Amino acid sequence: MSERPPRPRRGRRAGLVLAVVAAVAGAGAPAPATAAAAGDPVGLLQRMTEAQRVGQLFMVGTPATGLDARTAAAVRERHVGSAILTGRSAAGVDATARLTRGLRALGTRPATAGAATLVATDQEGGAVQVLSGPGFSAIPSALAQSRLGPAEVRRRAGYWGRQLRRAGVHVDLAPVLDTVGSPAAAAANPPIGRYARNYGYGAASAARGGGAFAQGLADAGVAATGKHFPGLGRVTANTDTTAGVVDTVTGRADPSLEPFRGAVRAGLPMLMLSSATYARIDRYRPAVLSPAVVRGMVRGDLGFDGVVVSDDLGRAAQVQRWDPATRARSALLAGGDLVLTVDPGVLPAMYDAVLSRAAADAAFSRSVSASALRVLRLKQRLGLLPPAVGPTYLLDDELGPSPVREVRYGRAVDETLVGDWDGDGVDTLGVRTGDRYLLTDGPTGPATRDLRIGRPGDQALVGDWDGDGADSIALRRGDLVFVRDGLEGPFRAPFRFGRAADEVVAGRWAPGGRDSLALRRGDVVSVTDRLGGPVTSSRSFGRAGDDLLVGDWDGDGQDTLGVRRGPRTFLQAAPGGPATTTVTAGVSSDLPLVGDWDGDGSDGLGLRR
């Protein structure tokens, strides 16, 4: 914040960039709020930090009988967007629904920009049915289903799919589209034929039965996943339990691929990759790690533009020759969208490796964004995105329970910034989409500045970096921070701060006129009093899932912390101290803001609704 004598000028200390996404309203006046929509995946992607985008590229296991604490931490701390229910549960629909409600609720603004957690499971039938008990049918094996005929398979799959929907499961990792040629071939085929997971014998039967199952799930509003491309019907070992599994027969134009082609033509939303190696396609890499398979065959030959998900890359014996970080990076570099690990213990290494690569490699970062957009589009179809509505800002000059002003600005696809752009001591709003920033100097009205800054995936940090009383925008890219002293002009030399996965905020931590940075890792906030300098103090405050706030609550010229948890906000009076003020305002879904809305030298709260 700036020095207030001789006149009350204050820069924007908190630097709170609040990810609320909407389409930018152009260079003129931002549009008013619009009616609720089903969610805007493009706008939500623009709102997300790179850390949140990377999180959308992971699906992590939790037992179907209860939430694994490591899986919950993966969503809260590493922004993971999808979960898979593993093992077996006989608890029934109602108990499963309680579990999935808890999983969806983990998709908060800090974790996933408000996108709910997508929940998947393996509900094929026969030997592979994770969920059973009251409300779930006993599903026959795919081989038995194939004798019913396509119309009956579709009808029954719709019924089974509705059971999944009632249980809060959005994705069934089924049907198996692998071709098994004959009963004799099935006996020699451990992963598929031996467990009757095949829809009859031959490609035509697999296409009819598997296609009907996928259509039935779609009728119920559940996303089907065709697997295991390019097929496990010819291998002689199970990739889950055996390493070195190789298919020496299947080629790029093999007739056994027809079930996958047909399902893609019919609108299949997800495709799972096999972890076997296919000697006639790419003898060096498993299909799940092979650009020849993913980019060449799935995206090229099949023309598939849905979500490509890996088979398990956590515990499967077939991929253990690579460390977890390499597995995840390689799967995405090959062209996949969603890395599945049934083992939450390896998720941190996987996620951190992908985030680090995205921070260092612009082309890979663009690929991450493209994959995240595919996942978000699927979530939109499944009703898992927050509604795209025009925002209302409720601003409170004091720290009371009732906002005193209501402001409308921008659209729901904007990312919101708060700053004193002209140095008059009053904080006002700005909006951002991608690399475009529209800032206003008044409480309402048209944008007075239209700027292009950095890259769309950068995190924006607002602060008065040079102590002149006016705020400017710094950029964070991975662990690199780029600062400039005005809204235009050259950036200073970049410096490293924390880790790419840390949450970073700005504030005035020491007396004086300049803002600096702090990072949050878990519930510990570490502060530096000087840009580019070392951490000067660390303090535990709040919980990892809280919205972190920064402000000068008492007008003494120094910022302290706050957290919002549901409708309650807890504020510090002194650095490192406990919360001494509690403010209850709004509802849990509101997005918190901090600003000196009236120029009196102390910060008030705001809500974006």
| CATH number where 75 lies | 3.20.20.300
The answer on 216 and 128 residing in a single domain is yes
Count the helices and strands in the chain (H runs, E runs). Answer: 14, 34
CA 97 centroid distance within chain? 22
DSSP line for 51-84: HHHHHTTEEEEEETTS--HHHHHHHHHH---EEE
Q: Which CATH number characterizes residue 591's domain?
A: 2.130.10
**Which DSSP category does 216 fall into?**
H
Angle, CA of 422, 437 and 475, to the nearest 5°: 90
Successive 10-residue mean pLDDT values, the chain, 609 residues: 30 38 28 44 89 98 98 97 98 97 94 96 98 98 97 98 97 98 97 98 98 97 98 98 98 97 97 98 98 97 97 98 98 98 98 97 95 97 82 82 76 87 94 92 82 94 96 96 95 95 94 91 94 94 93 94 93 92 87 93 91
How does strand 277-278 pair with strand 246-247?
A: parallel
Angle, CA of 118, 124 and 130, to the nearest 5°: 65
CA distance 19 to 416: 6
In a domain, 7, yes or no: no
* Structural domain that includes position 351: 41-381
Element (H, E) at 419: strand 415-419
The answer on 153 and 107 residing in a single domain is yes
Contacts of 370 (CB under 8 A, 6+ apart): none
CA distance 418 to 409: 12
In a domain, 449, yes or no: yes
The answer on 29 and 144 residing in a single domain is no
CA distance 176 to 171: 14
Q: Which of 349, 381, 413 is the last residue of a domain?
A: 381
pLDDT computed for residue 409 by the predictor = 78
The answer on 579 and 433 residing in a single domain is yes
In a domain, 2, yes or no: no
How does strand 118-121 pair with strand 82-86?
A: parallel
The answer on 412 and 327 residing in a single domain is no
In a domain, 3, yes or no: no
pLDDT computed for residue 238 by the predictor = 97
Q: Which of 330, 363, 381 is the last residue of a domain?
A: 381
The answer on 96 and 31 residing in a single domain is no
The answer on 315 and 463 residing in a single domain is no
The answer on 598 and 576 residing in a single domain is yes
Q: Which of 381, 408, 435 is the last residue of a domain?
A: 381
Domains: count for the chain: 2
